[in-house]
Structure 1
Amino acid sequence: MTKSFKMELPKITSDLETANFQDIYNEEEPYLANCIIANEIMDNEEIDKAVLSKVIFKNVTFKHARLERIDMVDTVFENCDLSNAYFGKGIIHRVAFKDCKLMGVDFSEANMGNVSFENCMANFSSFVDTRLKQVIFNHSSLQSTNYYGCKFSKVNFEECDIDEADFSQTSLKGIDISTCTFDRLNIALESLDGCIVSTDQAIGFSKLLGLVVKQ
């Protein structure tokens, strides 16, 4: 994975205890820390203001779960299915999603820092009004993903499929999409100011200006 900025990885120790997600209810407030959770089904779970710290999830499903205002730090999701889950208004810091299914997942109004998405299927996901700082999307499918009103700071898209992604009201200044594939983007021309694109992509965008490019 290449990147133009230093990114903080999840800080997780090797001596994690095996736990069940239901252990989150054992505390006065929903809280899980220093554990690994594997092969569980937590579909349709609803928890408000859950806190996760130094947790690894492996082969866990959170389909249609609603974890509003979640606080996640130093957490890893490996081969998990979070399709149509809601993490709106959450604080997500030093978190990695690896080989995950994130179809329709909703991160709207969240604050993300040092987050990576690697080899993920995240079509139709939503990041509306989300702040993303030092976030990497790598080798992931992001078709029809909604980035409306996002604030990007050191965000990389590396070899992703971003076809039909919506970047309305979002500036791509300094954002490199040159290795990504797409036929169409929902974006205003002013939002492309300073965006880093490939030669072929530049020719495609020039058509939006009514230019005729001779080759």
Structure 2
Amino acid sequence: MSQPTITLTGETIGRGRIERLLAEQALLAFEDCDFQQADLSRLNLQDCSFSNCAVAEASFYAANLARTRWRRCRGGHADFEASDLVDARFESCDLNNASWRRAKLASCSYRGCKLTGASFEEAGQLGLSFENCLLIGADLRRMSFRKATLKVLDFSDADLAGCDFRDVVFESGSLRDAHIKDTRFDHADLREADLGGLKLSNAKQFAGATISPRQAAELVRALGLNVA
């Protein structure tokens, strides 16, 4: 027997209200609701949906958010640390400076999202995907994108130290001024990526990678050489 769905629209919702709703053992759908600065830590919100909701500075610390759906939500500085977001979907959300530290992000997807300044430190990432996202200044250290096709991702100024971009294909996007200490780009196709400002300290990072003549000139200039 399927669970009933309770839809809430245009409400300001705190922890107590959600706990009462969850006690009814129904799926919850939130539309145009305000959760700003709410403490929703450790709650079981599995399979819930959020549409046009404000979640800025809300805490979802260690919450169960598996299979949740998020559309056009605004969540600057939201805290998703240690939460379970397996199979979650984020579409057209503004989640700047949100924390995903130690979150379970297996098979989670972000489409058309603003993730400027977001932190993904130590996040579980098997099957994690991004498409048409702003990751400017984000902390993505040691994340693996190996063999992925990356569509319109802006990694400008992002911390990509220790990331694995081997065999990746960039379809547009930017790596401008990204931090790439110990980052691997072996056999990556970088021809459509903006490589401006990259500080190439070790050519082995790009062994077998494909770049355009224009990009090659930019990288040579970054080494302080003149292209005649």
Q: TM-score, normalised by structure 1?
A: 0.77
Contact 2:167–2:186 under 8 Å retained in 1: no
Q: Find 2:137's aligned residue among 117, 124, 146.
A: 124
Judging changes above 3 Å, is the alpha-carbon distance between structure 1 residues 172 and 67 closer, same or farther for their aligned structure 2 residues? same
Work out the CA distance in 2 between the residues paired with 1:155 and 1:105. 22
Matched, 1:65 2:78: yes
Q: Which residue of 2 aligns with 1:47?
A: 60
User: Helix, strand or coil for the counterpart of 1:117?
Assistant: strand
Judging changes above 3 Å, is the alpha-carbon distance between structure 1 residues 82 and 199 closer, same or farther for their aligned structure 2 residues? same
Matched, 1:38 2:51: yes
Q: Which residue of 1 aligns with 2:101?
A: 88
Q: Which residue of 1 aligns with 2:218?
A: 204
Judging changes above 3 Å, is the alpha-carbon distance between structure 1 residues 19 and 83 closer, same or farther for their aligned structure 2 residues? farther
Which structure exhibits the higher relative contact order, with contacts defined as CA atoms closer than 8 Å and separated by 6 or more residues?
1
Single out whichever of 166-175 and 187-196 deviates more from structure 2: 187-196
Matched, 1:140 2:148: no
User: Helix, strand or coil for the counterpart of 1:203?
Assistant: helix
Q: Find 1:193's aligned residue among 184, 198, 207.
A: 207
Shift of 1:152: 4.3
Higher strand share: 1
Work out the CA distance in 2 between the residues paired with 1:170 and 1:182. 14
Contact 2:200–2:223 under 8 Å retained in 1: no
Q: Find 1:172's aligned residue among 182, 185, 188.
A: 185
Q: Which residue of 2 aligns with 1:105?
A: 118
Work out the CA distance in 2 between the residues paired with 1:55 and 1:123. 25
Single out whichever of 108-117 and 86-95 deviates more from structure 2: 108-117
Q: Which is greater in Rg?
A: 2
Work out the CA distance in 1 between the residues paired with 2:119 and 2:73. 18
Contact 1:85–1:104 under 8 Å retained in 2: yes
Show structure 1 runs of 5+ residues with no match. Answer: 1-14
Shift of 1:57: 0.3
Shift of 1:170: 1.3
Judging changes above 3 Å, is the alpha-carbon distance between structure 1 residues 109 and 156 closer, same or farther for their aligned structure 2 residues? farther
User: Helix, strand or coil for the counterpart of 1:114?
Assistant: coil
Work out the CA distance in 2 between the residues paired with 1:16 and 1:200. 58
Work out the CA distance in 2 between the residues paired with 1:68 and 1:39. 22
Judging changes above 3 Å, is the alpha-carbon distance between structure 1 residues 105 and 210 closer, same or farther for their aligned structure 2 residues? closer
Contact 1:111–1:130 under 8 Å retained in 2: no
Contact 2:130–2:153 under 8 Å retained in 1: yes
Q: TM-score, normalised by structure 2?
A: 0.73
